[in-house]
Amino acid sequence: MPNSTARDREPLHGFEKFADKVLRDWKVPGAAITVVHGGEVVFSRGIGHRDAESALPVTEHTLFPQASVTKAFTTMSIGILADEGLLDWDTPVREYLPDFRLWDSSASERITPRDLVTHRSGLPRHDISWYGSDRTREELVAGLRHLEPTRDLRSFWQYQNLMYMAAGYLAGQVVGSSWEEVVRMRIFEPLGMVSSNFAIGATQQTSDFSLPYMRRKGGAIRIPFYAQQDAIGPAGAIISNVVDMSRWLMLHLNGGTIGDRRVVSPAQIAQMHTAQMVSSKQSRWPELAQQSYALGWFVQPYRGRPMLHHGGNIDGFSTLCSFLPDHDVGVIVLTNMDTSPAPSILTWNVFDRILGMGQLPWSDRYLEEFREAVQAETRGKDRRRSRKIARTRPSHSLDEYTGAYTHPGYDAIHVDLKGNRLVGQYHGMELPLKHYHYDTFETTIEVVELTMKVQFVADVHGDIVRLVAPLEPTGHDIVFERVPAASLTERSFLEQFAGAYDYRGRTLTVTVKAGGLRISVPEQPEYEVTPIKDLEFGAKGMSGLSVRFTLNEKGAAAEVEVEQAESVFVAKRKMG
């Protein structure tokens, strides 16, 4: 039996039946819904199942990941710290974090906390760089300098999770603890959000949590829980239920107070609710006008009434938190279906009822949009097949593509040969590489439903030296450079080449440096060379200089060949 903790109000008569139909139509196993109106909870229900296989019901206490609804908690934490005099929205981040760097040095100097949380940093999403990564929050912040922007600072709105991660890191640093502690002490505790937490593992130890589902072949299938990623937490880690989230809604509707306790100043609430950037996202329906973005909230009129909202999507779950400030009404919808429109359909219907306006056919509208998306996906698959050049083969034997390829902002992709097929490993995900044509292979990152082509690239000598992948669709392809085999960088291997070599009476000196060698010649700059393969090394930062060692019959280095400017110079090792 569905539970209820508040009496239905007349405008919501029949809503539960409507919601049940929406869930069935959209194959959503379960949802929790709360409506706050006039300062109190007027509707709170669990509908459907949190565990479809065991027929366990959703209750108002069932825990669901909030995903990007978390972002408003991050901006709230900064607002509270601003009230405490510890942060200012418009002071450059570098004044708090001196080592903070972006790709663009000018942006590094000027970017502020306000810029971090309004999606105007200039960076596109770069989500694959962190998804599944085991890097710490501090390491992700340090890696931002290696992620290429596509726009100038403050010139364009681009949704960006990593900037929220950086904002949370900043909040934790200024108080000497962590973002989690700031949210727990300054938001959860004052609001009495006693069930809310940050960890999917801890959630699964409770007695009432939802399982994740994905739509497949007209039904819902159970999928694994997403891997815990503490580092990206400020962008989407919070897990909660509608009981706790109703208090969060009331905080915003009450202008920063809960009961008789003030949590944040009216001035900070006003900042959070005020549009800062026009969003690049467009609505196809006139009732949902042009979106802007405030501090952790979308600002968008609904049927002419001011509305603030933010959705959340994470593997197996979709959520939406919304409110109409002028009408003192808010709605939170939590579902256990991946990328579902159900939260939007249910929320807009509640607003239609509360406003006393005709109920619009939102489910039909989203169904039309869904069908168009399916058709577009089908056309995309057809296009990929039509562009494939038949009867081509890779330029190298498959084992020559194996190895590690790295990018400083995206970590490493490891390519192995399993049987007669190449398989990539990236952030714990297995990526089968199916030959497409020439040196291009196709793969799919299943958890994010991204099918892409990766290309292996050879240098002028014919050696495979890099892997190129379109991991950021709105920017340049990401280039991963091949890393030499670990055995070639070990000191025990490199030391055999150290020594003095004679070239026509001049001494060429080879010394060992961590991971490579240094070669010095009198009256010339010192060159740092790193392993390419076997006995061959390439000069760091120079494409026109390489060295190759020759071993004698005893396996000792006897000569070094230096290739430079299309010429080869041979130096013999000095003995004694």
In tens digits, the chain (576 residues) has pLDDT values of: 344 444 445 899 999 999 999 999 999 999 999 999 999 999 999 999 999 999 999 999 999 999 999 999 999 999 999 999 999 999 999 999 999 999 999 999 999 999 999 999 999 999 999 999 999 999 999 999 999 999 999 999 999 999 999 999 999 999 999 999 999 999 999 999 999 999 999 999 999 999 999 998 879 999 999 999 999 999 999 999 999 999 999 999 999 999 999 999 999 999 999 999 999 677 889 999 999 999 999 999 999 999 999 999 999 999 999 999 999 999 999 999 999 999 999 999 999 999 999 999 999 999 999 888 888 888 877 777 778 999 999 999 999 999 999 999 999 999 999 999 999 999 999 999 999 999 999 999 887 778 999 999 998 889 999 999 999 999 999 999 999 988 999 999 999 999 999 999 899 999 998 878 999 987 788 899 999 888 999 888 787 788 999 999 988 999 999 998 789 999 999 986
Residues 348, 435: one domain?
no
Asked if residue 385 belongs to a domain, the reply is no
Q: How far apart are the first and last CA of the chain?
A: 90
Asked if residue 387 belongs to a domain, the reply is no
Asked if residue 330 belongs to a domain, the reply is yes
Residues 219, 354: one domain?
yes
Contact status, residue 50 vs residue 31, Cβ threshold 8 Å: no
Residues 503, 547: one domain?
yes
Residues 444, 499: one domain?
no
Tokens of 489: 């960088």
Beta bridge partners of 417: 422
Asked if residue 161 belongs to a domain, the reply is yes
Asked if residue 392 belongs to a domain, the reply is no
Residues 444, 513: one domain?
no
For CA atoms 87, 116, 348, 43, give the dihedral sign. Answer: negative
Residues 532, 557: one domain?
yes
Contact status, residue 248 vs residue 201, Cβ threshold 8 Å: no
For residue 282, which of 157, 149, 114, 150 has the smallest C-alpha distance? 157
Residues 225, 196: one domain?
yes
**CA distances (Å), origin 117, targets 62, 133, 324, 334, 550:** 29, 22, 22, 23, 57
Residues 443, 567: one domain?
no
* 303 Cβ contact list (under 8 Å, min separation 6): 287, 351, 352, 355, 357
Domain boundary among 375, 409, 436: 375
For residue 441, which of 430, 450, 431 has the smallest C-alpha distance? 431
CATH code of the domain covering residue 451 = 2.40.128.50
Residues 457, 315: one domain?
no
Residues 29, 75: one domain?
yes
Asked if residue 542 belongs to a domain, the reply is yes
How buried is 333 (Cβ within 10 angstroms: 0-12 exposed, 13-18 middle, 19+ buried)? buried
Residues 420, 464: one domain?
yes
In whole angstroms, give the CA distance from residue 379 to residue 381.
5
* Domain assignment of residue 467, given as a range: 398-483
For CA atoms 123, 126, 129, 134, give the dihedral sign. Answer: positive
Residues 491, 478: one domain?
no
Domain boundary among 483, 507, 534: 483
Count of domains observed in the chain: 3
Tokens of 217: 């072949």
For CA atoms 327, 329, 330, 331, give the dihedral sign. Answer: negative
Tokens of 133: 């990564």
Domain boundary among 483, 517, 543: 483
CATH code of the domain covering residue 44 = 3.40.710.10
Asked if residue 368 belongs to a domain, the reply is yes
Q: Does pTM surpass 0.85?
A: yes
- The widest CA-to-CA distance across the chain, in whole angstroms, is 100
What is the DSSP pairing of strand 440-445 with strand 536-539? unpaired
Asked if residue 17 belongs to a domain, the reply is yes
